[in-house]
Structure 1
Amino acid sequence: MRLLHTADWHLGRLFHNLSLLDDQRYVLDQLIDIIDREAVDAVLVAGDIYDRSVPPATAVALLDDVLTELCSVRNLPVVMISGNHDSAQRLGFGARHLRQAGLHILSDLTDCDRPVTLSANGVEVDVFGIPYADPEYVRSQLSVDVRDFDSAHRHLVERINAQRHPSRPTVLMSHCFVDGGSASDSERPLTLGGAESVALEPMQSFDYVALGHLHGPQYSGGEHIRYSGSLLKYSFSEASQRKGVTLVDINDQGVQHIQHRSLEPRLNVRILEGELESLIADGVSDPHAEDYLLVRLTDRHAILDPMGKLREVYPNVLHLEKPGMLEARGRQQLDRERLQFSAKDMFSDFFAQTSGEAMTDEQSTAISELIGELSRDEEAQG
């Protein structure tokens, strides 16, 4: 049996106030192509299907399109759990009726010990799902004394272990922060203060653990305990990550092979660094100039409207940093002569960019005298 493990779709996500719905549709089409090309028998989606608890209608429509392709057109079973971005109740609406169509939505913690049994090519595999498990919710719903994410997760795993079939391979799905995992800037913290990670040890005995929440593809404590990562790069801290899905081959003896399949984005997320003029020159011939960009300018002088200039060649510059200016300021000597020179230098750059010509000697002298007067006034007031 071949399983496809994916997670963290975050349908409806905004990236620096830009909708990513077209980008998400683009990679989900690739996901479907991988399913067809690799003869996948079932799909596991480990939480954060939506980006927020009340998703926009367009995101709901996209999910409906994808699930129709998988469940109705291809007759593939899909097992999904809710994540911390999802509303478990909303995502789970109609779950009991949808099982008949092959869509298994595991969003109710009280049912975490009831497996979905998948069958293909003479192999049967039990899949258990732990949706996002807030300790307070676990405590109230299951009447157990748990005080943090780890103790809550341990309790749920114990409930599942008590129901495991002795001879069938078992897959665990969980949306959590596994201890030792590598996070990025786009994951929402599970808690404000306190420990949010869960231990690896209780999950070691499962044949495969399909995790969601962390956006970088990675595994912890063994290759069989794995995050598939998100569909797309949702922050610039993920610029170097290779997004994709995970294929898992499993038979009666357990997991036989695990492999990563890449997803190519419609527009990439990149970080560019350099001086403005050099970046603009490169952008003229850049075949991927429409990518989503963070630009770090190394220029050490003031520049008028650098964002506007950059967007003439890179239309999707979303964030601008100026480490060159900060470095230059940090190295300035904190004496009046240097400060006066810096102020005059910055004004000279401003004047040249706004008027298109350099200041005359008379103008330069007048500015120097004005800066000197302002400095003396400041000293007198101090």
Structure 2
Amino acid sequence: MKFIHTSDWHIGRQLHNQNLLEDQRFVLNQIVTFAVENSVDAVIIAGDIYDRSVPPANAVALLDEVVNRLVNELNIPIIMIAGNHDGHERLGFASRQMIESGLHIIGPLSKDISTITLSGKNGDAVFYGLPYADPATVRHVLDCEVTSHEAAMVKLLEQVHGHDSQGLPKVVISHCFLDGGSESESERPLSIGGADKISPSLFTPFNYTALGHLHGPQYKGAEHVRYSGSMLKYSFSEQHQNKSVTLVELDAQGVANIKLLPLKAYRDVRIIEGELAELLEQGKTDVNREDYLMVRLSDKTAILDAMGKLRSVYPNVLHLERTGLMADNGRVALSRDHIKKGELDMFSDFFSQVSGEPMTKAQQQAMTVAIDELHKVESRS
């Protein structure tokens, strides 16, 4: 059994208000080409297909284009699960009718975990799709008492452990945050205070675990418990990440042989620094001047229309920082550290400054619930 593991397509996403649909189509064409060149038996998308629960029409059209090429023209099955950015019910519409065509969509969590048996050219495997579900959803659907993301995942995986795969390899597809995973700025938190973290050891008993949510390619606990990473750089914090999809081949013993297939972006995402005159001169010979850029200017004097001057050479400058004018380095460092903090930490700091005393445990718990509710409202908007 051979398949491509991808995740976090985020179709319809913007980078600093820059539409990325052209860039996404460019990379998705590469994924289709990889599927053909490697004669894969399936393509897996481990959540966050879209960037918003109500995606724009052009994002839906692009997904339809890619799915049609893989499933109808190339007869390559697709398994996709809903991530925390997706509208589960919308993504899962008509999913039961699409199964016969080879398109398997796991939208909302159901009481019985989806089991999909696929036949490959050199062997079969059973795939278990676990869409993103917070503890409250798991409590409601499975009628159980769980309070953390890890406890919820333990409950979901009970069905995978208990399912008789008739000796076939078991492949779990999930969208979650493993403890110890490397984060990026472009990922929406699943929870706060570390309550969303799940131990990688839960997934090591299976032949392969295809994960989504974290945008940097990585594995945790064991090499076969893996994030494929996003297909594009969706924030400047990802500038040094090498994007790829994961080619997985299960041998006769069910051992996963893994290979990363590098993706080339239409435009790279990177940060450049220096004085304006130096950058303008450098841009004249920069073969990658069309890249999406954050520019940090070190000039210590005022500059008239710095952005306009930069865009005359680098047309896709998306963000400009005047680091040279920030004389109070201590305050800048403090501000950056402050931004990195989570919502609860920042509110706790604010509360302490205003009231003169730290928050009680009861107050922290009440604020945690309030922030979680705000994230749920945001994900539905």
Q: TM-score, normalised by structure 2?
A: 0.84
Q: CA deviation at 1:256?
A: 4.1
Cα deviation per residue 1:304-358 (whole Å; 9 max; x = unaligned)?
2211111110111111112222247779xxxxxxxxxxxxxxxxxxxxxxxxxxx
Residue aligning to 2:257:
257
Residue aligning to 2:360:
none
Q: What are the residue-to-residue correspondences of 1:180-191 with 2, within 5 Å?
A: 180-191=180-191
The amino acid that maps onto 1:17 is: N
In 2, the alpha carbon distance for the partners of 1:217 and 1:83 equals 17
Q: CA deviation at 1:282?
A: 0.5
In 1, the alpha carbon distance for the partners of 2:330 and 2:140 equals 54
Residue 329 to residue 223, structure 1, CA distance change in 2 (3 Å): closer
Q: What are the residue-to-residue correspondences of 1:99-118 with 2, within 5 Å?
A: 99-110=99-110, 113-118=113-118
Is contact 1:244-1:261 (8 Å) kept?
Answer: yes
In 2, the alpha carbon distance for the partners of 1:137 and 1:13 equals 26
Q: CA deviation at 1:153?
A: 0.9
Is contact 1:297-1:321 (8 Å) kept?
Answer: yes
Q: CA deviation at 1:120?
A: 1.2
Residue aligning to 1:57:
57
Residue aligning to 2:121:
121
In 2, the alpha carbon distance for the partners of 1:198 and 1:330 equals 36
Is contact 1:81-1:130 (8 Å) kept?
Answer: yes
The amino acid that maps onto 1:11 is: I
Where do 5+ consecutive residues of structure 1 fail to align?
A: 332-382
Q: What are the residue-to-residue correspondences of 1:166-177 with 2, within 5 Å?
A: 167-177=167-177
Q: Could you list the runs of 4 or more consecutive aligned residues of structure 1 that deviate by over 6 angstroms after TM superposition?
A: 328-331
Residue aligning to 2:149:
149
Is contact 2:5-2:46 (8 Å) kept?
Answer: yes
Is contact 2:209-2:225 (8 Å) kept?
Answer: yes
In 1, the alpha carbon distance for the partners of 2:141 and 2:225 equals 27
State the secondary structure of the residue aligned to 1:209.
strand
Q: What are the residue-to-residue correspondences of 1:234-249 with 2, within 5 Å?
A: 234-249=234-249
**Alignment partner of 1:6 is 2:6:** yes
Cα deviation per residue 1:128-154 (whole Å; 9 max; x = unaligned)?
011001111111111110111111111
**Alignment partner of 1:295 is 2:295:** yes
In 1, the alpha carbon distance for the partners of 2:330 and 2:193 equals 34
In 2, the alpha carbon distance for the partners of 1:155 and 1:26 equals 39
Residue aligning to 2:30:
30
The amino acid that maps onto 1:128 is: Y
In 2, the alpha carbon distance for the partners of 1:76 and 1:111 equals 28
Please, what is the CA RMSD of the aligned residues?
1.5
Identity %, equivalent residues: 52
Q: Which protein is bigger by CA-based radius of gyration?
A: 1
Is contact 1:2-1:42 (8 Å) kept?
Answer: yes
Residue 307 to residue 121, structure 1, CA distance change in 2 (3 Å): same
In 2, the alpha carbon distance for the partners of 1:157 and 1:8 equals 22
The amino acid that maps onto 2:150 is: D
In 1, the alpha carbon distance for the partners of 2:327 and 2:6 equals 42
Where do 5+ consecutive residues of structure 2 fail to align?
A: 332-381
Cα deviation per residue 1:236-277 (whole Å; 9 max; x = unaligned)?
000011111000011331134101001111111011011110
The amino acid that maps onto 1:239 is: Q
Residue 164 to residue 324, structure 1, CA distance change in 2 (3 Å): farther
Residue aligning to 2:42:
42
In 1, the alpha carbon distance for the partners of 2:295 and 2:108 equals 44
Q: What are the residue-to-residue correspondences of 1:205-216 with 2, within 5 Å?
A: 205-216=205-216
Residue aligning to 1:285:
285
Residue aligning to 1:266:
266
Residue aligning to 1:231:
231
In 2, the alpha carbon distance for the partners of 1:256 and 1:93 equals 32
**How many residue pairs were aligned?**
331
Is contact 1:299-1:322 (8 Å) kept?
Answer: yes
In 1, the alpha carbon distance for the partners of 2:69 and 2:9 equals 16
Is contact 2:299-2:324 (8 Å) kept?
Answer: yes
In 1, the alpha carbon distance for the partners of 2:181 and 2:194 equals 17
